[in-house]
Amino acid sequence: MNHIISGAMLPDGTITDLFVADGVLVDEAPSGAQTIDAQGLVVLPGLVDMHTHLREPGREDAETVESGTLAAARGGFTAVCAMANTQPVTDTAEKAEHILDLGEQAGHAQVVPIGAISEGLKGERLAELALMHRSRANVRMFSDDGMCLMDAQLMRRALEWVKPFGGLIAQHSQDSQLAGPGACCHESEISGRLGLGGWPPVAEAVIVARDVMLAEATGSRVHVCHISTAEGVDVVRWAKRRGIQVTAEVTPHHLLLGTELLEGYDTTFKVNPPLRTSEHREAIREALIDGTIDVVGTDHAPHAPQDKDHAFVDARPGMLGLEQALAVVMEVAGEELGWGGIADRMSVAPARIAGIAGQGRPLAPGEPANLVLVDPSARAVVDKRESASLSRNNPYDGLDLPDPVRLTMYRGRITHQR
Amino acid sequence: MKHLTSINDLSRDDALSILEMAREMHDVQRRPVKKLPALRGRTVVNLFFEDSTRTRSSFEIAAKWLSADAINVSAKGSSVSKGESLRDTVRTLDSMGIDAIVMRHPGSGAAQQVRGWVDASVVNAGDGTHEHPTQALLDAYTMGIDVEGKVVSITGDLAHSRVVRSNVLLLQKLGARVVLVAPHTLLPAGVDAWPAEVTTDFDAVLPDVDVCMMLRVQRERMAGGYFPSEREYTALYGLTARRLAKLKPTAVIAHPGPMNRGLEISSAAADDHRSIVLDQVSGGVAVRMSVLYHLLAGNE
Amino acid sequence: MNAEEVSLALTRMAHELVERNRGRDFLLVGIVTRGVPLARRLGAQLGIESHALDITLYRDDLREHPTRRGSRSELPQRIDDKVVVLVDDVLYSGRTVNAALTALADLGRPRRIELVALVDRGHREFPIQADVVGRRIPTAKDERIIVRLAETDGEDAVLIESETR
């Protein structure tokens, strides 16, 4: 199907018609095209999520590649990077290719497998990083997300090993002694009062500091997943000024939601790293705006009820994010970032950092037709039941937020429209 | 009043009402026929995810002396590993038509979560490092209920104590002045915002206190680096014979137990004539009878 | 009944009690709330101590009524082998007295229990009768008997109120 998208506004403010033929943007109206009226809508390059948990293989009751990528399409994403902490862990070329194939079969968005840094996420020995890279999956990004790679020597080796092919090591920055298994609440008056294990900001900052020094020492690239603290941001800012190849990511939930939501022990709000105070939220918001933080990554983490309906400390951490990510970014930093800034943090920069060809590209003839049409003014109250995800751990349920995504197009096909 | 999961569930009047009725219940405990018919036909389930013979048996006796049926369910071992969620566990019990769940759980907030899942009344018999409201009521009862203006010091592992959180909330409601004493490593995060004074200097507060409450310090904390050795902990924060001499003659010594004699409390202090440690045990049934009565005797 | 009639009734009741017991000792036990001042007045006339029994925890209607905090019973250490005279203001269904009997049974084994009521208004639901009554007042079920006493209400009076007024 060919398309004419008429009257859409580009991120730079110009209003234009876009022509789509055979999955590619072209410079004149194709024959037999269906016209999409985009008057009053903004067109952005399809969003790219560097941080998605699709749960398949292993926990198909919580999410599948099919359901997760449908949720992605509803959120305006045309590419998602699938985290490696599935069952089994994505730590070999074959497993990475399997995920790639599942994504192609589903067809709702490009699924980019992330490889584990260490075998089985155990933090003991390196996974077959280069073989994963050389496979059909062409893995460029590696992460033990969910676990921090605590062994500094192993971290150094990983950085060295991926350097020849420009691989990226993405770290879940959490010192496992300063923030151990029981740490589930931002360390503050609230954690003390609620009797929940404190997760101090310094547990993030010390790992970020160590890793940027290792990145500098090895000349390799490191990426900080879900940065959540003012201290962590300060270290990244310092490292960037020093010329270290570091990039950082922030989640929508850390931008919008605060630790006070834990008062009722609702495990929907249990996430790792934990929701923090307004000072930290303000610091990461500023850092996203000034570019210290490069990208928004959702850390979309679906969980089945039986994994959440426990005492707070026993419940799995994580919350949904794909469907409301753009809404949250518009809400907290839309004005400051502008459409160009949003396109950069949510599409251009993640595609560049993760090395995903054909995503985050300019909306120009010859480029793949990966795009999203955005209503800049619509709002709606989030209803967690209305979701393509198989899970319902949506922290935004009941909040009045922007309701921007009108149409998502992936390789010229409409993957979501309403 | 339907639930008691935190001292915050109680107004000052509620708390006083519970404490005063506990006196009456205590009278009942001393007579030959100890049973009252007040909760006949009610069913109370003691759901304990952690061992606690003392708390569980005092709730069980309390329910039985009020003529309720008391059933003990030991749910020890992680339900997570058994594949059953906490929600399923309590909803299964609730659907049997019980009237109250008395719950002990190693996870903070568990009792509060359960309130939202069941129709029965929920009594928190200790949740992780959060609260233990009936212990605080028992402590206040043992202090004589009228603690207005009294200085109460609480010394020990405050970071990991559920007793201290409930005690601070209740003692504040009752008008006492609370002084928290612990090394920085054993103080809860954000303790400065609590309605209490905080100090690391035990010796400085001793001459002023009316109630000197000592909390258990687990020896395993040494492994976590919370304190270097028993000797050093005792030297700084133990209620030793030397510190005992600094207490006012009218001061009383409390410890919610179980005691580590020789660590946080010396035998001289535990057995001193000013010690109310054993009274803290004997009032336990009466206070829990009063709590169950307040939650269950009213209209549905 | 006005204050004078209440006073006369109590005097007569005190005499009847002495007659019944032929000078032998008995315990005067008022049922909380208004039985307590009545027992105290009877005791004053007879020159003996009076006691109080709170039956809140023994009521069979606890579920229907909001929780009330019972005041404390004040009874001698032992009631075994004693004659106990229960005193209440109004005898109606008999449920209060039934609860009081259960409560006394839990406290010991009295030799005999007698019952004194200022007013008997009929409509018994239990096989319970008073041994000494101040006045029998036949009432309809929808009427209310209101006993006011100086100690609790500032004046002595017994009034009948009709619900359907």
What is the CB neighbour count within 10 angstroms for residue B33?
12
Q: What average pLDDT does range A292-313 have in this prediction?
A: 97
DSSP letters of A178-232?
A: TT-TTEEEETTHHHHHHTPEEE-THHHHHHHHHHHHHHHHHT-EEEE-S---HHH
Parallel/antiparallel/unpaired status of strands A183-186 and A168-171: unpaired
Q: Which of A49, A175, A211, A299 is catalytic?
A: A299
Choose the closest CB to B37 out of C66, C72, C102. Answer: C102
Secondary-structure class of domain C3-140 per CATH: alpha beta
Chain A residue at shortest CA distance from B109: A265
pLDDT at B81 over 90: no
| Interval A338-365: pLDDT, tens | 999 999 999 999 999 999 999 999 999 9
For residue C47, the model assigns a pLDDT of 92
For residue B32, the model assigns a pLDDT of 79
In the numeric block, which tokens belong to residue B101? 């769940």
pLDDT at B78 over 60: no
What is the average pLDDT value for chain A, to the nearest integer? 97
Interface of C with B (CB under 8 A): 54, 57-58, 62-67, 69-70, 72-73, 102, 105-108
Q: What average pLDDT does range C123-131 have in this prediction?
A: 94
For residue C75, the model assigns a pLDDT of 84
Q: Residue B300's pLDDT band (boundaries 50, 70, 90)?
A: very low
Q: Residue A255's pLDDT band (boundaries 50, 70, 90)?
A: very high
Distances in whole angstroms, Cα of residue B41 to Cα of each of A79, B57, B213, B297: 61, 20, 39, 11
For residue C70, the model assigns a pLDDT of 57
* C-alpha closest to that of A417 among A30, A15, A38: A38
In the numeric block, which tokens belong to residue B103? 């719950």
| Interval A88-118: pLDDT, tens | 999 999 999 999 999 999 999 999 999 999 9
In the numeric block, which tokens belong to residue B225? 């680096």
Choose the closest CB to C57 out of B32, B36, B299. Answer: B36
Most C CBs within 10 Å, among B27, B293, B294, to test the C interface: B293
Q: Residue B77's pLDDT band (boundaries 50, 70, 90)?
A: low
Please tell me the CATH code under which domain A45-364 is placed.
Answer: 3.20.20.140
| Interval A264-280: pLDDT, tens | 999 999 999 999 999 99
In the numeric block, which tokens belong to residue A10? 């580009």
Q: Residue C78's pLDDT band (boundaries 50, 70, 90)?
A: confident
Contact A25, A366 (CB under 8 A): yes
Distances in whole angstroms, Cα of residue C162 to Cα of each of A238, A352, C118: 86, 88, 20
Contact A194, A262 (CB under 8 A): yes
Contact C116, C130 (CB under 8 A): yes
Q: B298 vs C58: CB contact, 8 Å cut-off?
A: no
pLDDT at B45 over 90: yes
- Residue B261: Cβ-neighbour burial (10 angstroms; 0-12, 13-18, 19+): middle
pLDDT at C165 over 70: no
- Supply φ then ψ for residue A17, to 5 degrees: -100, 140
A189 against C165, higher pLDDT: A189
SS3 C146: strand
For residue A299, indicate whether it is catalytic: yes
Q: C58 vs B37: CB contact, 8 Å cut-off?
A: yes
Chain A residue at shortest CA distance from B91: A309
Note which residues in 273-312 of chain A have CB less than 8 A from chain B.
305-312
- Interface residue B77 vs chain C (CB under 8 A): no
Give the C-alpha separation, A321 to A314, whole Å.
22
| Interval A162-176: pLDDT, tens | 999 999 999 999 999
Domain boundaries along the sequence of chain C: 3-140
pLDDT at A294 over 90: yes
**ipTM of predicted assembly, 2 dp:** 0.93
pLDDT at A261 over 80: yes
pLDDT at C66 over 90: no
Most B CBs within 10 Å, among A259, A314, A393, to test the B interface: A314
Fold of B133-278: Rossmann fold (3.40.50)
A273-287, B24-38, B183-197, C30-44: least confidently modelled range: B24-38
Most B CBs within 10 Å, among A191, A265, A266, to test the B interface: A265
Q: What average pLDDT does range B67-74 have in this prediction?
A: 93
For residue C69, the model assigns a pLDDT of 57
Q: What average pLDDT does range B63-82 have in this prediction?
A: 81
Phi-psi region of B218 (alpha: psi -120 to 50; beta: other; left: phi over 0): beta
Q: Residue C164's pLDDT band (boundaries 50, 70, 90)?
A: low
Q: At what angle do helices B162-173 and B12-29 cross, to 10 degrees?
A: 110
Contacting residues for C135 by C-beta, under 8 A, at least 6 apart:
C1, C5, C9, C118, C119, C120, C158
Q: What average pLDDT does range B290-294 have in this prediction?
A: 95
SS3 B67: coil
pLDDT at C71 over 90: no
What spatial distance separates the first Cα and last Cα of chain C, rounded to whole Å?
20
Chains that touch B (3 or more CB pairs under 8 A): A, C
User: Which overall architecture, per CATH, does domain B7-132+281-296 show?
Assistant: 3-Layer(aba) Sandwich (3.40)
What is the CB neighbour count within 10 angstroms for residue A57?
16
Give A-chain residues touching B112 at CB under 8 angstroms. Answer: 264-265
For residue C68, the model assigns a pLDDT of 58
Choose the closest CB to C66 out of B31, B32, B298. Answer: B298
Contact B107, A313 (CB under 8 A): yes
